[in-house]
């Protein structure tokens, strides 16, 4: 009987966490504060710790034309969101190092430059 109570308690806890994340702690545009035309503060939580990140948006098109794996497969849509708004690799872990550790990635810029990450 006690195993069933523990299992029931676990289900209730998981469901409660789901409801909290779904309706109370959901990330949305209210987590972004506009400071002026080009500066924003992004507020977010990880493990109940609050963080803030100041972001300055660069106007104009993306400077990156294409990102491809060693075999030529294009993964631009996978990598670009991790770069940040100005493609400055603002996150601590580079996504290509984490998701594609054994492959070389080639970043093609619209000015014709090419960068190969080993």
| pLDDT (mean) for 2-8 | 77
Is 89 or 5 the better-scoring residue by pLDDT? 5
Is residue 56 one of the residues assigned to a domain? no
- What domain range is 104 assigned to? 62-118
Is residue 77 one of the residues assigned to a domain? yes
Instruction: Give percent above pLDDT 90 in the chain.
Output: 0
- Token couple for 44: 């977010």
CB 55 within 8 A of CB 85: yes
Is residue 110 one of the residues assigned to a domain? yes
The pLDDT assigned to 102 comes to 64
Structurally, the chain folds into a number of domains equal to 1
Q: Which tens digit of pLDDT belongs to each residue from 24-74?
A: 655 556 788 888 888 888 888 888 888 888 888 877 777 888 888 888 888
The C-alpha angle with vertex 68 and arms to 66 and 72, in degrees rounded to 5, equals: 125
Is 107 or 97 the better-scoring residue by pLDDT? 107
Q: Of 14-18, 46-50, 81-85, which one has max mean pLDDT?
A: 46-50
Is residue 117 one of the residues assigned to a domain? yes
The pLDDT assigned to 13 comes to 79
């Amino acid at each position: 009987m006690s195993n069933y109570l523990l299992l029931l308690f676990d289900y209730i806890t998981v469901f409660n966490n789901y409801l909290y994340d779904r309706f109370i702690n959901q990330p949305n545009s209210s987590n972004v504060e506009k400071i002026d035309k080009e500066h924003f503060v992004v507020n977010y939580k990880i493990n109940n710790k609050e963080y803030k990140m100041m972001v300055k948006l660069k106007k104009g098109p993306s400077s990156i034309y294409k990102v491809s794996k060693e075999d030529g497969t294009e993964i631009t849509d996978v990598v670009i969101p991790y770069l940040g708004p100005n493609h400055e690799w603002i996150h601590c872990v580079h996504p290509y190092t984490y998701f594609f550790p054994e492959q070389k990635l080639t970043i093609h810029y619209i000015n014709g430059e090419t960068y190969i990450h080993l």
